[in-house]
Structure 1
Amino acid sequence: MEWSSDLVSNGRVDVQGRIANKRTTGGWKASPFIIVNEVVERLAFFAVGVNMVNYLISVMHQSLPDAASHASQWAGAAYVFTLLGAFLADAYFGRFRTILIFSSIYAIGMVMLTLSASLSNLHPQQHKEATKDQNAFLYGALALIALGTGGIKPCVSSFGADQFDEGDDKEVVHKSAFFNWFFFAINTGALFGITVPVYVQEQVGWSWGFGIPTIFMFCSILILLLGVRYYRFQKPMGSPFTRFLQVMVASFRNHLKGVKLGIDTPLYEVQTPNSNIVGASKLPHTQQYSFLDKAAVIVDPEGTNRRNRWEICTVTQVEEFKSFIRVLPVWASTIALALTYSQQSTFFISQANISNRNLSSKFIIPAGSVPVFAAINAVIVVPIYEKLVVPFLRKRTGHPRGLTSLQRMGVGLFISIFAMASAALVEKKRREHYPERNSISVFWLFPQYFMIGCAEVFTYVGQLEFFYDEATDGTRSISSAMFLCEFGIGSWLNSVLVQIIEGATGGGNRGWLRNDLNASRLDYFYWIVTAFNALNFIVYVFVAYSYKGKGKPRT
C-alpha cells in the first residue's frame, strides 16, 4: 500500500508506459525542462514577431498599414492554429509527441525565414517591390512558423500541468505556482527575444537577427528531450469534437422521438470505476443545459444499442460537452485583451520608431526592443505576486490562489482600459507638441507598455488556470487552445479594424492611419480600442458573476 500511494491517481504514465511514480516523475523534477523550453521557444517567436512590421517595411517595401495588417494576420494565424495542435494532441498523438512534431515544422520555417533575409534573390532590391516568388517564399516561411508555434502552444502549458497530480493536495498547490512561473517563462523569453536578436539585427543585419532565434528554436527541442525520463504522459483520448457531435445528434434524435425529461428520468452511465472515455474520470450530472441530457436518456431498457454513441451517450460524455459550452461566454468576453495586446507589435512599434531612443551617445534602443517595457514588468511582477501578494490575499480571501481565476482575469481586463487610454493621450501629446522625429523620449511610451504588462500578469495567468481547471480530462488541450486562439482572433480583429478605419476615414493618403504618423490620427484609433475594452469589461463582469463552474449545481 505504501508503494501504491506513490503512484499518481490521474492515470498519467511514465516514458515506459507504466503508471507514473510521484517519487521519480513529474512535479518540479519535470517542469523545469518544460519552463526552460518555453523560455527558449518564446525567445524565437518574439524575436520574429516584434521585427515583423519593420522587416516588411524596410526589406519587403510594404506600407505601414499593409505591414501592420499582414503582421496581425500572421500572429492571428499562429494562435488560431492552436486548435489544430490541441485536436491532434487530445485525439491522436498526445501532448509530448505533438510538441515535437510541430517544433520541427517551426524550425523549418525559421530556417526559411533566415534564408529569405540572407539571400539577395529572396527579397527585393532597394526601391523595388517584392516579386510574387519572393513574397511566396516569405509567406511560406511565416506559414510554417505560424503552424509550428500554433501546434505546440496549447500543449506546452497543459503538458506542464500534467506533471502535477490533482489527487495530491501538495501537488495541486504546486500546479498553481507552475502557471505563474510558466507565465514568467513566457515573458523571460520575450524579454530576451525583443532585446538581443533585435539589437543584433540593427548592428549586424537581418540574417543574424533571424539566424539567432533559429538556433534557439533547435535548442528548445533539445531541452525538451532532455527531460523525457522525468515526464508524466497523458494518453490520447480520441477526438473530443466527435464526442461533442455525438451528444448533439443523440439529443436531437431523442427530442424528435418525443423524449421528455423529468426528475426521475434514468440517464445512462457505464457501470465501471472510470468513464468509457479512455483515461477520463466520470463526471457528476448537472442540471444546466438540460436539453443535452436527452442524449443520455435510456430509451431502450433492454440495452441493445448502448454501445452506439450516436444513439445514446453516457452522462460523462454529455457533461464533457456541457463543460465546453459553459466556458464559451467567458472565452468570448476576454477577447478585448488580445486586441489591446496586438498593438504592442504594430502601432506601438511605429510610435517607437519616431521617438528619441538614445540611452547614450553610443547606444540607441532598437525600436523592436521597446516592448521590453511590458516584458520587464511581467518578469518583476510575477515573483512579487507569487511570493508576497498571493500569501497576503490568501489570508484574507481564504482562496489558495489569493484570487479566483475569474477575479484575476477581471483585474487584468480593467487595467487594459487605462493602458489604451494612456496610449491615446500620449499620442495626442506627441502629435501636437513634439511632431519632429526624435523630439520626444521613447519613455513616454512606458505607461502604456507597463499597464499592458500588468494586465497580462493578471488576465493571462487567470486564463491559464481557468481553462485548464474547468476542462475535463479529455479536453484540456482543446480548452487551452480556445483561450490561446483568442489572441489570434484579436490580431485578426485588429487587422479588420485597421482596414475599416482606414477605408472609412479617407484611405491611406487622407485617413486616420497613414505612413506618416504626424498626418495620422492614431490617438482616435486608440480611443476606439479603449471604448471597446470598457464595453467588454462590463460584459465580462456580468458573465463572470453568472458563471457556474464545472460540477457545481445551477442555482
Structure 2
Amino acid sequence: MAFFVISKNLVTFLIAVLHESKIDAAKHVSAWVGASFLTPVIGAFLADTYWGRYWTVIVFLLVYIAGMLILTVSVSLPMFSTSSEHGNVNSLLVYVGLYLAAIGSGGIRPCTKSFGADQFDSTDLGEIARKASYFSWSYLVINISSLLSGTVLVWLQDNVGWGVGCAIPTVLVIISFPLFVAGSRVYRFRKQGFSPLKSICQVIVAAVRKCNMQLPENKSLLYEPSSSSAPEGSYKIQHTNQFRCLDKAAISLPDKTCIPPISSWRLCTVTQVEELKMLLRMFPVWVSFVIFNTSSMSPTLVEQGMVMDNYVSSFAIPPASLSTIGVLTVLVMIPIYETISVPLLQRLIRQGNGFSQAPRIGIGIGLSAVTMVYAALLEMKRLAIVQSSGLSDHNVPAPLSILWQAPAYFLHGLSEVFTCIGTAHFFYDQAPDSMKSLCTAIGMLGMSSGAYLNTLILDIVAVATTSSGSPGWIPDNLNEGHLDYFFWTMAALCLINLVMFVLACMRYRGNTAS
C-alpha cells in the first residue's frame, strides 16, 4: 500500500503541490519508479550472498519505515509548505523520503517473493503445483493493496490532505515489521550459497584466459566434480551446446600447471558455466519485459485523464484513481484463471517442463499493444472535441467523460494478469537454485529499465517535437499537443516487442538442473 499510494498519485502531487511542469513530473515519476525496481538487484545480491532473504527483509524494512516517516512529515507540517520560505526544504525532504522508500521497497520486493516461494518443498509434487498458483495469488494480494491505495488513500490525499494519505500506509509499514518477525518460528530457511555474481565473473574470467584452447570433442571431459566430492546440498546442471565459448572455462588444465587447490578463476565447473548460460538464455525474455513495462508504466494516461471531464454526476473522480479499474480486472481475472482456466487447460493440453509460461506472457504483450492503440484513438477523439469546441488555446478539460479511459485500464489490467504473473514465475522457476533472489530481482529490473526507457523516450519526444518552436507532443497544455502521436509510437513499439518475444521463445531451452 505504501508503494502504490506513492506511485499512483505522485504525478498529481508533483504538478499540484511542487508545481512541476507536466513533462518534468512525468519524467520524475518514471525515474522514481525506475529506482524502485532497480534497487531489488542490491537486495537480491545481499540476500543470495550474505544476509539471506529473511535478514535482508528485516534491514530494508527499517529503511522503508524511515523513508515513509520523512515523506509523511514533509507533506504534513505547515512549516514545510511550498508557499512558505521553506519550500525548497520541503522539496528536498520529499525527494529524500521518496528515494529512501524506493530503496526500502526495492530491497524487500525480490526477497519476499522468493522467500514465499521457498516455503514450498521442491521435492513434493503437490507443493510444486501449489507453488505455481502461489505467484498468481500473491499477485492478487498485492493488487488488493493497489486497489485500496488507488481508491481510499488517493481520495484522502486529494480531498482531505496529503499528510493523511501518507500517514496511513506509514503506520501499516511500521505494523508489518513485527508481523513479519512473528512468523520466524515457522519459516523454511534455505542454506546460503556462494556469491552468484562472483561465480558469473569467475566463468567469464576463466573463459577469457583459455580463449585460445580447443574444446574437447567429448564434453564429459569438461570439469565437474563427482557427487561424492560435491558440497552437501549442491546440485548439477546438464551440459548444453549453446554459448559454447563459455565451455572453455571448464576445460581442465594440464596436470603440470594445476597446483591443488585449483583457483576457481582458472577452472570452473560445468554447473557454473551452465548457470551463466541460463541467465543469457533468459535475457531476450527480459528485454521483452522491459519494453512491456515501457508502455504500461507511462504516467501519460493519468495526464490524459487530467484534461478530461472527471465528474460523474456531482462526484469528481481523481484521474489517478481510474487505474483502479485495472486493479479490479486483476482481482477478478486471477481467480477465474486459477479456478476455471487452469483445470480446463490441464484437461486439454499436456504441458511439459519447458518454457510453459510463453503463451501467457505473449498474450499480455499483445494486449499492451491493444491498450496503446485504444489510448491513441481516445486522444484523437478528445482533441477533435477540443478543436470543435474552440478550446485549443485554453488549458481546460475537454467535455469528454474520463470514463472513456476505463477500457484502456481494463486492457492494461488484463495484460498484467498474463505478463507480470507469467514473468514472475518464469524468472523464479528458470533461475539456478543459487540465484533465485537475483533472478527475481532481474525480472524487477525489467520494470526499472522500462520506466527509465519511458523517461528516455519522453526526453527524446520533448526535444524532437519542440525543436522548431512548436509546443510539442506533450506540452503543459495538452489541448495544444499531440499525445495521440506518443501513444501510436508506443503501440508500434509493443508490436515489435511481440515479434521479438515470439522469436525468443522459439529458441529458448529450459532449466536442466538435477
Do 1:265 and 1:297's aligned partners in 2 also have CA atoms closer than 8 Å? no
Do 1:89 and 1:95's aligned partners in 2 also have CA atoms closer than 8 Å? yes
What is the rounded CA distance, in whole Å, between the counterparts of 1:194 and 1:440 in structure 2? Answer: 22
- Counterpart in 1 of 2:311? 358
Structure 2 residue 383 is matched with structure 1 residue 437:
no
Query: Given the two structures, how large is their TM-score scaled by the length of structure 1?
Result: 0.87
2:269 to 314, 335, 341: 314
Counterpart secondary structure, 2:83? coil
Counterpart secondary structure, 1:66? helix
Structure 2 residue 114 is matched with structure 1 residue 158:
yes
Instruction: Report the Cα offset of residue 46 of structure 1.
Output: 0.6
- Counterpart in 2 of 1:333? 288
What is the rounded CA distance, in whole Å, between the counterparts of 2:371 and 2:92 in structure 1? Answer: 37
Do 1:164 and 1:175's aligned partners in 2 also have CA atoms closer than 8 Å? yes
Structure 2 residue 121 is matched with structure 1 residue 169:
no
What is the rounded CA distance, in whole Å, between the counterparts of 1:274 and 1:414 in structure 2? Answer: 49
Structure 2 residue 207 is matched with structure 1 residue 251:
yes
Instruction: Report the Cα offset of residue 333 of structure 1.
Output: 2.1
What is the rounded CA distance, in whole Å, between the counterparts of 1:493 and 1:512 in structure 2? Answer: 18
Counterpart secondary structure, 2:374? helix
What is the rounded CA distance, in whole Å, between the counterparts of 1:152 and 1:475 in structure 2? Answer: 16
Structure 2 residue 377 is matched with structure 1 residue 377:
no
Cα-to-partner distance string for 1:377-402 (whole Å, 9 max, x where unaligned)? 00000000000011111111112899
Structure 2 residue 487 is matched with structure 1 residue 526:
yes
What is the rounded CA distance, in whole Å, between the counterparts of 2:453 and 2:282 in structure 1? Answer: 21
Which aligned pairs between 1:4-403 and structure 2 lie closer than 5 A?
43-125=1-83, 130-131=87-88, 133-256=89-212, 258-263=213-218, 266-273=221-228, 275-276=230-231, 279-301=233-255, 304-343=259-298, 346-361=299-314, 363-399=315-351
Counterpart secondary structure, 1:467? helix
Q: Once structures 1 and 2 are overlaid, which stretch shifts more, 326-335 or 164-173?
A: 326-335
What is the rounded CA distance, in whole Å, between the counterparts of 1:439 and 1:129 in structure 2? Answer: 38
Do 1:393 and 1:402's aligned partners in 2 also have CA atoms closer than 8 Å? no
1:449 to 394, 400, 409: 409
What is the rounded CA distance, in whole Å, between the counterparts of 1:123 and 1:67 in structure 2? Answer: 19
Do 1:280 and 1:474's aligned partners in 2 also have CA atoms closer than 8 Å? no
Do 1:173 and 1:400's aligned partners in 2 also have CA atoms closer than 8 Å? no
Structure 2: segments with no counterpart, 5+ residues: none
Do 2:355 and 2:509's aligned partners in 1 also have CA atoms closer than 8 Å? no
Cα-to-partner distance string for 1:75-109 (whole Å, 9 max, x where unaligned)? 00110111111101100011111111111101110
Instruction: Report the Cα offset of residue 209 of structure 1.
Output: 1.2
Structure 2 residue 484 is matched with structure 1 residue 484:
no
- Counterpart in 2 of 1:25? none
Do 2:353 and 2:510's aligned partners in 1 also have CA atoms closer than 8 Å? no
Do 2:379 and 2:484's aligned partners in 1 also have CA atoms closer than 8 Å? yes
- Counterpart in 1 of 2:428? 468
2:375 to 423, 430, 438: 423
Do 1:409 and 1:458's aligned partners in 2 also have CA atoms closer than 8 Å? yes
- Counterpart in 2 of 1:21? none
What is the rounded CA distance, in whole Å, between the counterparts of 2:68 and 2:352 in structure 1? Answer: 41
Instruction: Report the Cα offset of residue 271 of structure 1.
Output: 2.4
Query: Given the two structures, how large is their TM-score scaled by the length of structure 2?
Result: 0.93
Structure 1: segments with no counterpart, 5+ residues: 1-42
Counterpart secondary structure, 2:404? helix
The change in CA–CA distance for 1:210 and 1:400 in structure 2 (over 3 A counts) is farther
What is the rounded CA distance, in whole Å, between the counterparts of 2:437 and 2:355 in structure 1? Answer: 24
The change in CA–CA distance for 1:106 and 1:378 in structure 2 (over 3 A counts) is same
Matched-pair identity in %: 36
- RMSD over aligned Cα atoms: 2.2
What is the rounded CA distance, in whole Å, between the counterparts of 1:264 and 1:314 in structure 2? Answer: 12
- Counterpart in 2 of 1:502? 462
Q: Aligned letter for 1:73?
A: A
The change in CA–CA distance for 1:385 and 1:401 in structure 2 (over 3 A counts) is farther
Cα-to-partner distance string for 1:249-292 (whole Å, 9 max, x where unaligned)? 11121224x3433225612222235844x743222222222221
Counterpart secondary structure, 2:308? coil
- Counterpart in 2 of 1:26? none
Q: Aligned letter for 1:321?
A: L
Cα-to-partner distance string for 1:281-340 (whole Å, 9 max, x where unaligned)? 222222222221111122134763344111111121111111111111111122221012
Q: Aligned letter for 2:15?
A: I
Instruction: Report the Cα offset of residue 502 of structure 1.
Output: 1.1
Cα-to-partner distance string for 1:449-508 (whole Å, 9 max, x where unaligned)? 111111100001110111111101111111011111111111111111111111111169
Counterpart secondary structure, 1:69? helix
What is the rounded CA distance, in whole Å, between the counterparts of 1:275 and 1:479 in structure 2? Answer: 24
Q: Aligned letter for 1:397?
A: I
Do 2:296 and 2:368's aligned partners in 1 also have CA atoms closer than 8 Å? no
